[in-house]
Amino acid sequence: MLIKSLVIKKDYLTTVNEHATLEEALKILEDSGYRCVPILDDTGTIFRGNIYKMHIYRHKSQGKDMSLPVTYLLKNATKTIKVNSPFFKVFFTIKDLPYISVLDEENKFYGILTHSRLLDMLSDAWNIKTGSYVLTVLTDNSRGNLVKMAKAISKYSEIAGVMSLDASSAEVNDNFVRRILFTLPAGVTEDTMKLIVKRLEAKSYVVAEIEDLQAGMTIMSDENPGVFMSKPIDD
């Protein structure tokens, strides 16, 4: 299971018991350095919610009772996923959270999946550390497009990774509804990359952006399609 392999198990986590006071919870948060930790029941198997340091600080600054149970300020009680949840569900659930709590098949607390773990997985899938270039190709949803693009690239190079993303609404209006990101493996030269781009364009595909992963540069963008240039990715 992909999700299960990314989870930090509960044995390695800092948690707060549901009967702890806000004062006790604040000390745990300050000692651990975390801004948020899970609240568990006495058995350590039932997830009650999360407690955030900022909410306790706000409560304390207003002169309110710090002897109240930590559950008084609990958040995200229903924000959970299962270890066997579809991967796409993670993105909808974790969106505004520092992590998402993960339950096992019996609805017992299994651990957490953090943003950083998720991003590391995507980075590995994208082959950012070992790839040479990433080509962003715009296309519609016509049947066979992915196969045709892959064949065009494979004439000159292997493909280290492929990712599909939805295009913006403006591009949808221009009949481009999908971004396909092809990562080329290490060792592909700039000349080979340009041959691939020309072949894709000859087949009427638009190469909107090219990123040099090792140099950390965008060398062509959809601001000036067809023009090779040197431009920092962060610009």
Q: Does residue 221 surpass a pLDDT of 90?
A: no
CATH topology of domain 127-232: Alpha-Beta Plaits (3.30.70)
Provide DSSP, the chain: -HHHHH-EEGGGS--EETT-BHHHHHHHHHHHT-SEEEEE-TTS-SEEEEEEHHHHHHHHHTT--TTSBGGGG-B-TT-EEETTS-HHHHHHHHTTSSEEEEE-TTS-EEEEEEHHHHHHHHHHHHTTTTEEEEEEEEE---TTHHHHHHHHHHTT----EEEEEEPPHHHHHTT--EEEEEEEETT--HHHHHHHHHHHHHTT-EEEEEEETTTTEEEE-TTSTT----EETT-
Q: What is the pLDDT of residues 45-71, one digit of tens each?
A: 999 999 999 999 999 999 999 999 999
Sketch the domain layout of the chain as residue ranges.
2-120, 127-232
Q: What is the pLDDT of residues 162-193, one digit of tens each?
A: 888 765 544 445 554 688 999 999 999 999 99
Q: Does residue 233 surpass a pLDDT of 60?
A: no
Position 112 scores a pLDDT of: 97
Position 147 scores a pLDDT of: 95
Position 3 scores a pLDDT of: 80
CATH code, residues 2-120: 3.10.580.10
Q: What is the pLDDT of residues 140-159, one digit of tens each?
A: 878 899 999 999 999 999 99
Q: How confident is the model at residue 33 (pLDDT cuts 50, 70, 90)?
A: very high
Q: What is the mean pLDDT of residues 32-52?
A: 97
Q: What is the mean pLDDT of residues 81-96?
A: 84
